[in-house]
A = this chain, B = another copy of it.
Amino acid sequence: MEDFHYNPHISVDCVIFGFDDQKINILLIKRKQSGKNVFALPGDLVQKGEDLDHAASRVLFELTGLQNLYLEQFKAFGSPDRIKDPVDIEWIKSIREHPEERVITIGYNSLVKVDGFEFTPSSFAEEVLWHPIEKPQKLAFDHNDIANTGWFMLREKIKREPMIAFSLLPEKFTLRQLQTLYEAIVGISLDKRNFRKRMLRNNFLVAMEERETGVSHKPAQYFRFDEDTYREDFARDQWFLF
């Protein structure tokens, strides 16, 4: 049961996306409810007197053990019927002192590489897992809506600041790796030739002398991302395309 430290009206939900070199995954927690598995976003009530950004980091840490992620607020969800499924109502009654209170939740998102993260599920999370975003998964409450909106907002942000996506690649990468990442983000397969032709127009993508080694296919050339050129190109593109 929650204690008196919590504000029963405001919660935070974390929508964390992770790239595993092949596809984008979303971070979920699994909990047991009446003998069944229920999947949800890591989220919980804000404490009294606690800042929203702080609450997002704390809740994520308490449920999953993850720390030091850059979490960005993307939207508040306040529909009066956010909690309407009887299963969700049952859960709320079992954990909240004021289950009848309307809870507004603030969504936070983040994008990380999946490797290097170790989970420590605790509180009501029995398990923490990466779930591929392309595979549908029913989530508790309105978490499917929150997750979809979080992904949409993150993609919009990547359009404005593609550098975010490059941070998911190793320092030197092949065009195949770049295409895999790109396809994972936009969610469609692309023609290899066209992709390369268009991508190489970007001056911030710099060909290196070095090639892959120890591969059975023809070793591909490595590229690197040049942040300075990128910043110049993007500064030029601010405001009405110039």
Residues of chain A at the chain B interface (Cβ within 8 Å): 7, 9-10, 46, 48-52, 73, 75-76, 78-80, 102, 104, 106, 156, 158-160, 162, 165, 182, 186, 198-199, 201-202, 233, 237-242
- Point out the residue from B46, B80, B237 that lies within 8 Å of A78, measured CB to CB: B46
* Interface SS of chain A: mixed
Copies in the assembly, this chain: 2
- Given the interface pairs A80-B51, A104-B104, the reply to whether A201 lies near B239 with Cβ below 8 Å is no
Residues of chain B with a CB closer than 8 A to A238's CB = 159
Q: Is the CB of B241 within 8 A of A10?
A: no
A200 to chain B, nearest CB (A): 10
**Cα separation A238 to B241 with both chains bound (whole Å):** 12
Residue of B nearest to A78 (CB): B52
Residues of chain B with a CB closer than 8 A to A75's CB = 73
